[in-house]
Amino acid sequence: MDNYKTLTIDQIQQGLRSSSFSAKELAQEALRVSEAENGQYGAFLHFCPERAIAAAERVDADLAAGKELGPLAGVPVAVKDVIMTEGERTTCASRILENYVAHYNATAVERLEEAGGVIFGKTNCDEFAMGSSNENSAFGPVRNPAAPDRVPGGSSGGSAAAVAGGFAPVSLGSDTGGSIRQPASFCGVVGVKPTYGRVSRYGLVAFASSLDNIGPFGRTVKDTATVLDVIAGHDANDSTSADVEVADYSGALGGDVKGLKIGVPKEYFAEGLDAEVRARIESGLKLLESQGCEIVEISLPHTEYAVATYYLICTAEASANLARYDGVRYTRRFDDPETLDEMYAKTRGDGFGAEVTRRIILGTYVLSAGYYDAYYRKAQKVRALIAADFKKAFQTVDAIVTPVSPFPAFKLGAKVSDPLDMYLSDIYTLTSSLAGNTGISVPCGKTSEGLPIGLQILADHFNEATMLKLGDAFERAGGFEIA
């Protein structure tokens, strides 16, 4: 199976139907390749061979019986290790959960497997999904397959690297402030953040509950659309799940995009944007214009407040969500405490890494008496202003196009000592996260050093179909290979 690393979902389905390979052979190849090469990149924390082979054998049995195959039949899938997989370790890349085995499946995992997907491994990530470089994992960093001395982005760096390295055709990640789109940009793959509430969060270990999303990575826009077709939709187990009709995302692809009006926010092309990134994005905009899109300048005036607003809201929610990890119920408990307070202190002090600790402390501070109104409440008001900026913009444009990050993938260790510089990695993705809009990162050429650059397409709430159609048109027009 020499071409495993380049297979798309359509090619896998065709190969199964033509008996070029079986689902079991495909699963075995996914495990073989990934286990052999994972030491170079650290993309996976652990593998699920028994689960994968059993799922593949079910697909082969259905095929032999003449049953209709699901849209992901036989497709190897990697899943970020903050998403529950029953019977498998779900560590959140943290020492405090290093031996935790999930007792149930996340809704997204359940839907993947019902569609025939073959989950074969859990991917590395920043601890509890807190980070922009995947250097915060308790079990070691992930290296970018496009440049192994560089970060893959975070927090879903392992899921992006799994696709970029050819280990999985598609993967699942989570995006709170850019944690799918930014790694997709750094690694040169496609990554989708759905509208908040479009994909169930049931079984996603909570970081910031009003911001967290599950979404797919893939080699093509069509592959991510196919996965989104499967995992999207209302779920009664998630009170924030939106009971809104799901479009046929795969069916929306193809055709031209003539007449679509594309907004370009001037605030995203100001000081701090790398010159090569700017050049590739501008070339991408010209390509979209050549496809019949109308390019118009817009303003998102509250963009400058996004970083401060996000890091007040997300840390406050993290402080509340991570309070449950105290050594009492299911976390690792550190040895021989003499008092209950000492058990709490040792468990949390030794179990959480530096970045998670930093965010818990900051979040606890902004929620404390005397500071709540000055910080957290004010941040929520600014969040409403940022959302209003997008609402106003989408009254006049069909989509918004921006860079994903101000710069390409940086070297491992380059920003770990400067948290603010690290946080600025996500300055162009935070705004849409705060507003709850959907967004996609698609490859848009490379720098002179060969580092991938991502182009971000944003669309209004529950308008993934337009966003995916535009991304697919960009891909078909050669946008991924812009020079």
Q: Which residue among the candidates 179, 185, 200, 405 is catalytic per the annotation?
A: 179
Token pair recorded at residue 228:
């989104």
How far apart CA 128 and CA 301 sit, in angstroms, is 31
For residue 402, list its beta bridge partners. Answer: 456
CA dist 333 → 103, 111, 347, 348 (Å):
19, 33, 6, 9
Phi, psi (5° rounding) for residue 229? -55, -40
Q: Which residue among the candidates 80, 122, 193, 222 is catalytic per the annotation?
A: 80
CA angle 477, 450, 423 (to 5 degrees): 95
Token pair recorded at residue 363:
């979040």
The answer to whether 234 and 241 are in contact (CB under 8 A) is yes
- 155 catalytic? Reply is yes
pLDDT on residue 420: 87
How far apart CA 129 and CA 205 sit, in angstroms, is 9
Alpha helices in 65-194 (DSSP H): 107-114, 157-164, 181-187
Number of neighbouring beta carbons within 10 Å of residue 17 = 11
How far apart CA 78 and CA 216 sit, in angstroms, is 10
Residue 270's identity, in one-letter code, is A
- Residue count of the chain: 483
Cβ-based burial of 139 (10 A; exposed 0-12, middle 13-18, buried ≥19)? middle
pLDDT on residue 52: 98
How far apart CA 107 and CA 42 sit, in angstroms, is 26
Domains of the chain, earliest start first:
4-252 (3.90.1300.10)
Token pair recorded at residue 161:
């690297």
Give mean pLDDT in consecutive 10-residue pieces for the chain, a chain of 483 residues. 94 96 98 98 98 98 96 98 98 95 98 98 98 98 98 98 98 98 98 98 98 98 98 98 98 96 97 96 98 98 97 97 90 83 92 97 95 95 98 98 98 94 94 98 98 98 98 98 90
The answer to whether 174 and 82 are in contact (CB under 8 A) is yes
Q: Which residue among the candidates 22, 94, 133, 155 is catalytic per the annotation?
A: 155
DSSP 136: -
The answer to whether 122 and 172 are in contact (CB under 8 A) is no
pLDDT on residue 351: 94
pLDDT on residue 336: 80
Residue with tokens 């009492």: 328
